[in-house]
Amino acid sequence: MRLIKIMSPAMILLFMACEVAQLVYDNPLDKDDGEVPALVFSPSTIETSVGGSAVFEIFAVQVAGVSGIHTQIAFNSVRLGVTNVSPGDFFDDVNQSPMFFTVPANPSTAVDTLDIYYFYLGDGVTKEGTGSVATVIFNTKMTATSSLEFTAESEFVDPDDIAIQINSLGQGTVTAQ
Amino acid sequence: MNLLKYLRWFMPIIFIGTAFSQPTVAVLDFDANGIPEYEVETLVERLRSELPNTGAVRLVDRKMLENILKEQGLQQSGCTTDECAAQIGELLGAQFMISGSIGKLADTFTVDMKMVSVSTGAAERAKNLTFDGNVGGLLIEMQILAWEIVGEEVPKALMIKRTGADDSDKVTVAVMDFDPRGISLLESQTLTDRFSTEISATGKAILVARSTVLEVMEDQGYETSGGCTSEECAAEVGALLGVKYMINGAIGKLGETFTIDAKMFEVSTGAAAKTKNATYTGPVDGLITEIEILAWEMMDAKPPKELISKRKGTIVTQSDKPKTKIGAALRSAMMPGLGQAWTTDYANITNKSWYFLGGEAALGIFALVTYNNYYASNNDAVKFHQNYINATDVTEIRSFKETSEGHLSDAESSEQTMEYIMYALGAVHIYNIVDAYLNGPEDEETASVKKQKFDLVYNPELNQPQLRFSIALD
């Protein structure tokens, strides 16, 4: 009798507790065929505290015959600052080290840009597939949600410096609370 | 034969003669002092309706009184003197006129009335009353005054009603002496007295004094000791006392074991409201405690701790509440098939009980297994989704996504299955409850009404018991 008294509410609770998880499959590297090659931020969203860091990795997704990458990231320099930029492992090669340098834009304007150049020198060496281009660490300056965008200046090029069409450019978001 | 023939002729004459030997009385509207007139009219109307019940007077119709006043161009309220009342009484052919006033001073009501002789113009009898309380309580007071103004003794039922007027949440109860079986009459009476005292101590009942019960029994020609043991007799006495419930029972002795059986039944319907019995083995003085505890239980009250602590010997108390369809349904609601088994006193548990129990248990187990599947799949889906989010390798990303989506699909499927099982379980459970109700025990009250076509009931309008004939239409 006591078992029934316990079981009945338990069954009702059990039924009410059933709720299938609502999952969103939005990995920025998970691109459809029509969207590649792509340039994306991973992760696409970071939440941090004011003064905290937001570490984004920039990925070239499913690109073929590429030997040079130029990314230009636009961000709000009032809200965010660039702490560090380090090269990724996409262009690692046994024969030669790739060139990697960054050019921060004039910080006098509110919208700042960060240019990253990553390429092989001559020799016809190319890469294909998906790989990390660079890791960028931003620091937040105030409570706000800031977006990071690749500008139209970003490009993939082949050994002959001919641009490879980019079909989608990802976006990043930093929320400082 | 000749005697019967004469009686047939003379009976109506005797009846008419008796009726006309009663003096006629008319009641004028009372003056209202500080109280709304409609309230006074209601109270006087209660006085008028009670007067014929006294059997001491015949009441002049109110319509006739109004017609006479109209013809004479008088208003009832304008006729306040004894002379005026006597004058109207003369025109009505009444022998007595009752007039008076009802007033209110702060929270206190006052009623003053007098009965004036039409022939002499003198006040025959005067009564007054001061009443603290709700105006509704005056209704019973007016009924009592009706008896007092005509010089008749107020019925006990009315006096009990007066006592209970302020205790509307209490029920009126009278206790008949318990029937002694194997013990002496004196012992039985002593135990009944203790039982009555405790009934009163519960604070849940207004108890009619034993002396009043005995008085009514005497009036009805019953022997006061052991002369009224049947339920019919108790119901008749209860009706005359004007109580809602009567309690009777028996105290017996079998060897060293004492038995107490008590039954409380409703006077108006004769239906058992509660039955209690106890079997006690131990010293005789412990029996007093047991009967006292039984009194509390009978009134659905928790016996005081000091009473419980006085308990001696071994006691087995049993409450025989009548089985009902609702009781069966409630039991089946708690446990499938239990109501059906309870209906048959668990002696002859039908297959149906087992089917309900087994069916619901099987569905419950099936639901639990499905829930386990759902739980595991859902957890796996979440786990692989997290891997998918964190992965940077395209092959891994695709693999994690496919696996997570697969588990999610399984979880959704399990949830759907569980929903169907729950609907099935609910349907079986409701069917089980309905079945228990429909095939449940017949209510005692319904059964008794169906069984007996004739029964003795108390008619509150006539203020007396009457024999009722009823036919069940179902």
| Predicted confidence pLDDT, tens digits, chain A (177 residues) | 455 555 566 666 655 667 888 888 888 889 888 898 999 999 999 999 999 999 999 999 999 989 899 999 999 888 998 889 898 888 876 666 677 777 776 656 667 888 899 888 766 788 889 999 999 999 999 999 999 999 999 999 988 889 999 999 999 999 998
Answer whether B385 sits within 8 Å of A18, measured CB to CB.
no
pLDDT exceeds 70 at position B210: yes
Domain membership of residue A95 (yes or no) is: yes
- Contact status, residue A130 vs residue A62, Cβ threshold 8 Å: yes
Looking up residue A61, the CATH number of its domain turns out to be: 2.60.40.680
Q: Is the pLDDT of residue B222 over 80?
A: no
Which residues on A lie below 8 Å from B401 (Cβ)?
A: 25, 27, 30
User: Does A164 fall in a domain?
Assistant: yes
Q: Which of B368, B385, B418 sits opposite A23 (nearest CB)?
A: B385
| A128 and A65 Cβ atoms separated by less than 8 Å | yes
Query: What digits encode the pLDDT tens for the residues B318-329?
Result: 555 677 888 889
Does the distance separating the beta carbons of B385 and A21 come in below 8 Å?
yes
Q: B17-154 in CATH: which number?
A: 3.40.50.10070
pLDDT of residue B347: 61
Query: Any chain B CB within 8 A of the CB of A57?
Result: yes
Residue A132 within a domain: yes
At residue A175, the pLDDT reads 95
Q: What pLDDT is stored for residue A6 in this prediction? A: 56
* pLDDT at position A165: 93
Identify the pLDDT of residue B84. Answer: 76
Q: Is residue A54 part of a domain?
A: yes
- B402 versus B300: the higher-pLDDT residue is B402
What CA–CA distance (Å, rounded) separates A130 from A3? Answer: 58
Range of the domain at A138: 29-176
Asked if A23 lies within 8 A of B425 by C-beta distance, the reply is no
Nearest residue in chain A measured CA to CA from B415: A18
User: Would the CB atoms of A25 and B385 count as touching at under 8 Å?
Assistant: yes
Where does B282-347 show beta strands of DSSP type E?
314-319
Taking residues B213-225, report their average pLDDT: 78
| CATH code of the region B171-322 | 3.40.50.10610
Copy the structure tokens of residue B388.
Answer: 């998918």
The answer to pTM > 0.80 is no
Residue B383 Cα, gap to closest chain A Cα (Å)? 11
Contact partners, residue A112, CB within 8 Å, separation at least 6: A74, A75, A76, A77, A104, A105, A106
Higher pLDDT, B18 or B282: B282
Gap from A108 CA to chain B (nearest CA, Å):
36
pLDDT in tens, B401-421: 999 999 999 999 999 999 899
Most confident option among A115-129, B31-45, B86-100, B374-388: B374-388
In a domain, A49, yes or no: yes
Is residue A45 within 8 angstroms of chain B, CB to CB?
no
In this predicted model, what pLDDT tens digit does every residue of B47-104 receive, in sequence order?
Answer: 888 888 888 888 888 777 777 777 777 665 566 677 777 777 888 888 888 888 898 8
Q: What is the pLDDT of residue B455?
A: 65
pLDDT of residue B283: 77
Give the pLDDT score at B12: 52
Looking at residue B9, its pLDDT comes to: 55
Residue A21 placed within a domain: no
- The number of domains in chain A is 1
A18 within some domain? no
Q: What is the pLDDT of residues B321-364, one digit of tens each?
A: 677 888 889 999 988 988 888 887 676 667 788 888 899 999 99
Q: Which residues of A23-34 are buried (b: 16+ CB within 10 A; e: fewer)?
A: beeebbbbbeee
Asked if A27 lies within 8 A of B412 by C-beta distance, the reply is no
Alpha-carbon span B147 to B195, nearest angstrom: 34
Instruction: Provide the pLDDT for residue A166.
Output: 93
Higher-pLDDT residue of A126 and B472 is A126
- Per CB-CB distance under 8 Å, the chain A contacts of B424 are none
List the single best residue of A4, A8, A16, A23 to mutate versus B (max B Cβ within 10 A). Answer: A23
Give, as one character, the DSSP assignment of residue A28.
T
Q: Could you write out the DSSP letters of every residue in B288-353?
A: HHHHHHHHHHHTT-PPPHHHHHT--SEEEEEE-PPP-HHHHHHHHHHSTTHHHHHHTTTTS--HHH
* Tokens coding B449: 């009404």
Nearest chain B residue to A12 by CA: give it.
B422
Answer whether residue A100 is part of any domain. yes
Res B39: pLDDT: 85
Q: Is the pLDDT of residue B376 over 90?
A: yes
Average of per-residue pLDDT across B442-469: 61
Cα B26 to Cα B47, B76, B97, B99, distances in angstroms: 11, 12, 5, 9
* Residue A16 in contact with partner chain B when CB distance is under 8 A: no
How much of chain B, in percent, has pLDDT values that exceed 70?
A: 82
pLDDT of residue A137: 93
- Tell me which of A11, A31, A56, A132 to substitute to probe the interface with B (most B C-beta atoms closer than 10 Å): A11
Partner-chain contact A14 B367, CB within 8 Å: yes
Higher pLDDT, B110 or A97: B110
- B20 has a pLDDT exceeding 70: no
Cβ-nearest to A14 among B371, B401, B411: B371
Q: What is the pLDDT of residue B15?
A: 46
Please report the pLDDT score of residue A4 as a whole number: 55
- Using the Cβ of A129 and the Cβ atoms of chain B, whether some distance falls under 8 Å is answered with yes
* Among A4, A23, A30, beta carbon nearest to B397: A30
Q: Which residues of A touch B374 (CB under 8 A)?
A: 18, 20
Residue A5, min C-alpha distance to chain B (Å): 7
Which residues in chain A have Cβ-Cβ distances shorter than 8 Å to B385? 21, 23, 25
Per-residue confidence band for B139, with pLDDT thresholds at 50, 70 and 90: confident
Q: CA-CA distance, B157 to B136, in Å (whole number)? A: 18
